[in-house]
Structure 1
């Protein structure tokens, strides 16, 4: 018996943390004197990174985005210089001195992201409803955090947010070399858990990566569209698959059901 849990937007509020961090980074960019148009530059860079590195964990690295943004700023500056100074030799491209700006922006991003998570983790809804339940379940069944991210990023998130006595095994797509919902990823998770797929259940917010990915590999799953939906409903999703799928209104409801399902499956 094993519980597979997605991390981002299932156990911790990554989306609002991300929005907060990018908003603060825009201010940092301006204060650093790196120019205007942060949001358009960032979205363009993010799209390029995503398209170029489809299926690779590195497509989530903000460092790559900030490096591309700096490339674009330098190219724009050099184009203007070359237009104004046609007969003067001009340095072009990324320069050694620009490295500190890129690294500084990445550092600021993580600072803002983690500060949001730390503040959020202190809220009563986490302290009294989610965290005690995670600790209790992790003392009863093996728990595997399965995520499409880089290892360093997820270690930072977990250490900043989840409770100290929560027991788990963390598996990232960077370690596996493949992202959910690939066969390689789920095969690795099942091999690591030393469990049969029919004895496991997957919880996650992403329909394709978490739910459909698990279903295709014979693992029961619960879809959690919202971490903190107001109702306490859980319904079985109408599917032709023999592997059950449920939809839960929030993470706590999903955890309660998963815990009961694991106990019943033991008998």
Structure 2
């Protein structure tokens, strides 16, 4: 028996933390006198990294985005200065180098990454003080982790996820974390879920997964015989659990199962109802 849990937006509110951190970074950028265009430059950089490193865990590295942000900034500076120099015939290799990426820029890039994680972790430090976590989610997670082996399965870099878990999830919570960085493949690939199943050493028919992403978590896991609970809203109202029949959504790309018909899939109103149902399901499988 094993309980597989997605981390981002299933156990912790990553989207909110990300939006908060990036917004605060934009403020830091302005206060440093670098202009009002941080969000524009960051979005350009993020899209480039995502496209270039599609399906690779490195596409989630903020450091790559911040490096590109600074390169874009320098490129724009060079563009402005080259227009000024164009009519005076002073555009040369030396001027291009002068307005290109510089050694001292490295300090700025690392500063940006440091500020991002500072704001990111500050959000989690405040968020975990809410009663919904302290009184409901955290005690349930600790209890479950002493009853069943828990595996956190996530598409991210290990360092980032370790920082999140350390800064947010409760003491006494036992788990094994598996990131796409260590597997070399992201969910919902066959390679990722085969690695998870092998690591757990369990029959996938005796395992259940909770996740918010339909394709990556639910279709990916169910295609390998793992039962699933879809949690589209981490703190949705009610305590309903509804079984899903038939196929929802299309699946495309390599290492997926086109037209897969979900089996043993439920949709939970929120994370608490999902975890409570998972506990009952695992106990039933033990009999």
The alignment's TM-score, normalised by the length of structure 1, stands at 0.98
Report what 1:246 is aligned to.
266
Map 1:28-47 → 2, pairs under 5 A: 28-47=28-47
Q: 2: CA distance between counterparts of 1:60 and 1:185?
A: 17
> 1:85 aligns to what SS in structure 2?
helix
Indicate conservation of the 8 Å contact 1:25/1:105, yes or no: yes
Map 1:212-231 → 2, pairs under 5 A: 212-231=219-238
The alignment's TM-score, normalised by the length of structure 2, stands at 0.91
**Are 1:104 and 2:111 an aligned pair?**
yes
> 2:122 aligns to what SS in structure 1?
helix
Following superposition, the deviation at residue 82 of structure 1 comes to 1.7
Q: 1: CA distance between counterparts of 2:32 and 2:192?
A: 40
Q: 2: CA distance between counterparts of 1:227 and 1:109?
A: 24
Indicate conservation of the 8 Å contact 2:137/2:272, yes or no: yes
Report what 2:255 is aligned to.
none
Following superposition, the deviation at residue 239 of structure 1 comes to 2.0
Q: 2: CA distance between counterparts of 1:262 and 1:153?
A: 30
**Are 1:198 and 2:218 an aligned pair?**
no
Indicate conservation of the 8 Å contact 1:221/1:245, yes or no: yes
> 1:69 aligns to what SS in structure 2?
helix
Q: 1: CA distance between counterparts of 2:245 and 2:204?
A: 20
Q: 2: CA distance between counterparts of 1:217 and 1:243?
A: 10
Q: CA offsets, 1:134-168, max 9 Å, x none?
A: 00000000000000000000000000000010000
Map 1:106-125 → 2, pairs under 5 A: 106-125=113-132
Q: CA offsets, 1:183-225, max 9 Å, x none?
A: 0000000000000110000000000000000111110000000
Report what 1:255 is aligned to.
275
Q: 2: CA distance between counterparts of 1:242 and 1:227?
A: 21
Note the aligned Cα RMSD (angstroms). Answer: 1.0
**Are 1:151 and 2:171 an aligned pair?**
no
Following superposition, the deviation at residue 36 of structure 1 comes to 2.5
Q: 1: CA distance between counterparts of 2:234 and 2:160?
A: 21
Indicate conservation of the 8 Å contact 2:8/2:14, yes or no: yes
Name structure 1 gaps, 5 residues minimum. none
Following superposition, the deviation at residue 92 of structure 1 comes to 3.2
Name structure 2 gaps, 5 residues minimum. 248-260
> 2:104 aligns to what SS in structure 1?
helix
Report what 2:286 is aligned to.
266
Map 1:37-76 → 2, pairs under 5 A: 37-76=37-76
Q: CA offsets, 1:217-257, max 9 Å, x none?
A: 11000000011001111100112647310000100000000
Q: 2: CA distance between counterparts of 1:245 and 1:105?
A: 42
User: In terms of mean alpha carbon deviation, does 126-135 or 37-46 score higher?
Assistant: 37-46
Q: 2: CA distance between counterparts of 1:129 and 1:139?
A: 16
User: In terms of mean alpha carbon deviation, does 122-131 or 81-90 score higher?
Assistant: 81-90
Change beyond 3 A, Cα 1:242–1:157? closer
Q: 2: CA distance between counterparts of 1:165 and 1:147?
A: 21
Q: 2: CA distance between counterparts of 1:29 and 1:113?
A: 16
Following superposition, the deviation at residue 38 of structure 1 comes to 1.3
